[in-house]
Every structure is written in C-alpha cells, then in structure tokens.
Amino acid sequence: MITIEKSVTADLPAIIEIEERSFSKPWSKNQFEGSINNFYTAKKDGKIVGFIGVQLIEDEAHILHMAVDPAFRGQGISKKMMEFALNFPARKWFLEVRAGNIAAQKLYESYGFKVISRRRKYYQDNDEDALIMELMV
C-alpha cells in the first residue's frame, strides 16, 4: 500500500538517494533542505519510494519536482502523488518538464495539463528545453 506524508528532515537521505538515481543533474542537499516544507514522500510498506514538491501561492500551485525510485517505477506511484497534489486548494497549476521526457508529459497530460510555452536551454546538464505546462481547475 502506498501512503503519502509530509516530508521531514529525516527523510532527506532517502529523497536524495532517489534524486541521484533519477537525474543526471540532481538537486543538491541544500536545495532540498531549503524547500523541505514543500515536499511529500510516497512510502510503500514504510520505505520512501518517491517524492513530490508542491508550492502553493494563494490560489496557484507549482509542482516543483517529482521522482520515483527506479526500482519502484511502473507501479502507479507517480499517479498517486499527482492525485494527492491535485487535491491542494489551487485553481491554476504549473510545472516544467524536459522536452524529451515523453513519459512525464503523458502523465501530466492525463490530468489535463497543457503545454503553454517552452523555455529554451532550461536544463543546464544538456541545454535541453523545458516545456511549461498549465492546468486550470
């Protein structure tokens, strides 16, 4: 069973491990420490298997970052985290996604997100563009 809970500082080692296994240019420990209050962890049988960051500003929300441990992908954990996040009291949602990350784009599109713009060379590791996606609820 998957549960989603507010992240705490003690979760950082597991979050960082998932981050490092998931991204070629991972967020730093300092980045996570500075925004831990915006993060939630997905747990399976008490083990952290994913995380999602959501920042609320009045009635708008920004999905900051999300990852699932590679060993637990394909089990619907991303969907669970998205459903959890989309219950926040926001009328407008934003996120950035790599132009080449088709799987993530399909996930976001399945919840109604639409591409509204492109940020050229947004990702520093390979100069890949970011697609800016928006959802109005």
Sheet with 92-98: strands ordered across: 2-6, 39-44, 47-57, 60-68, 92-98, 128-136, 114-123
37 is written with which tokens?
A: 């209050």
96 labelled catalytic:
yes
Active-site residue, 111 included = no
Which of 60, 83, 108, 123 is flagged as catalytic? Answer: 108
Check 96, 109, 123, 134 and give the catalytic one.
96
Residues 6+ apart with CB under 8 A from 34: none
* Active site positions, annotated: 96, 108
